[in-house]
Structure 1
């Protein structure tokens, strides 16, 4: 075989190997990451991987109300873990965790994953909102797992609009009640205009006049 033919055969083999490797990567637990926006935060510590981490605030700026943490947590270990807490260093926000079903902790099964945020999933609600951060900022978020311990990363702060709407806060503040108008006036059907003179509604006009002449 000539040298040029050997080089062509080696190049073709390299292409086949590369395609096979990419296909194998998409077949595991991380296959769904192909649908995740690439600029969202992700981190791996030991057996735990956290992807698509976000802090999602109220859709309208300046509105005070609950915010949420949204993420997907993978457990590549052989033992299940629980998410014991999520904290936001540098803020006063308290995160309340709730499993998708029941009152127990959020469980990340061995060899599986759990989604936090969105309808029917576990939730992590920042009670009172996150006043210290603005949309577009990066907020440090710490996930504490039962076995791995603290897993920290910086998550983008975004409003619950467009793509993020379905993962945003379930509770939206109600618009303020409108106060009743104080300018209403009562207009009577008739007005009394005192002029100091009594004006009868009608005048009596005699049909004839009595004339009395002096001396008669």
Structure 2
């Protein structure tokens, strides 16, 4: 084989290997253009917390909501008894999807979501002294069995990707009337989620098989 032929063959192989890499960064659906918000995650014992974010209300100063997807991988139910923000004296109010304040139950092998239509919420008022947009803020989740679990989610306003998941407690359900119209509060197609780095925190509570 001549030197020129070997050089030509090597150049062809290199060109073929580089082409797929170049394609990843080009076009309207390029991977580099698929930007998603950073979210915090951690796990302790049977509890896994994913996609944790603190969402503020851009319309008024003060309130903020802690949103996250919480998985219970254990054989028995656990309760989320408290959420706290170090340095903030104001308590975080836990409210169930039924509008009742108090601890939230994560069923065995199941999951709940904090934040979003039809889901439980964790809202704190008068938080602007500590919680500021763009910061990374320490948050402590307290569970009945796993104890305290800490992580540091990013603080973002309830805009764009997070629109609709700001600091507002879910309304208590009301009895339907013959003239009532509209869809149920539980978002369709958001049940049966399993733990993954891409799981959305904005989904209804469900129990994995």
Establish whether TM, by shorter chain, passes 0.5: yes
Q: TM-score range by the shorter chain?
A: 0.5 to 0.7
Tell me which residue corresponds to 1:39: 38
Question: Tell me, what secondary structure is at the counterpart of 1:167?
Answer: coil
Tell me which residue corresponds to 2:134: 136
| Contact 1:54–1:158 (8 Å) recurs in 2 | yes
Q: 2: distance between equivalents of 1:79 and 1:38? A: 32
Tell me which residue corresponds to 2:109: 111
| Contact 1:139–1:155 (8 Å) recurs in 2 | yes
| Contact 1:58–1:169 (8 Å) recurs in 2 | yes
2:54 is aligned with 1:70:
no
Question: What's the C-alpha RMSD, in Å, of the aligned pairs?
Answer: 1.7
Deviation at 1:38, TM superposition (A): 6.7
TM-score, length basis structure 1: 0.58
Decide whether aligned partners of structure 1 residues 110 and 85 sit closer, same or farther in structure 2, where only a CA change above 3 A counts. same
TM-score, length basis structure 2: 0.60
Question: Tell me, what secondary structure is at the counterpart of 1:163?
Answer: helix
Higher relative contact order (CA 8 A, sep 6+): 2
Unaligned runs of 5+ in 1: 1-36, 172-216
Tell me which residue corresponds to 1:91: 88
Question: Tell me, what secondary structure is at the counterpart of 2:162?
Answer: helix
* Higher-Rg member (1/2): 1
Tell me which residue corresponds to 1:190: none
Aligned residues: 133
Superposition misfits of 4+ residues, deviation over 4 angstroms: none
Deviation at 1:102, TM superposition (A): 5.6
Q: How do residues 1-216 of structure 1 correspond to structure 2 at under 5 angstroms?
A: 37=36, 39-60=38-59, 63-101=60-98, 103=100, 105-170=103-168
Decide whether aligned partners of structure 1 residues 159 and 38 sit closer, same or farther in structure 2, where only a CA change above 3 A counts. closer
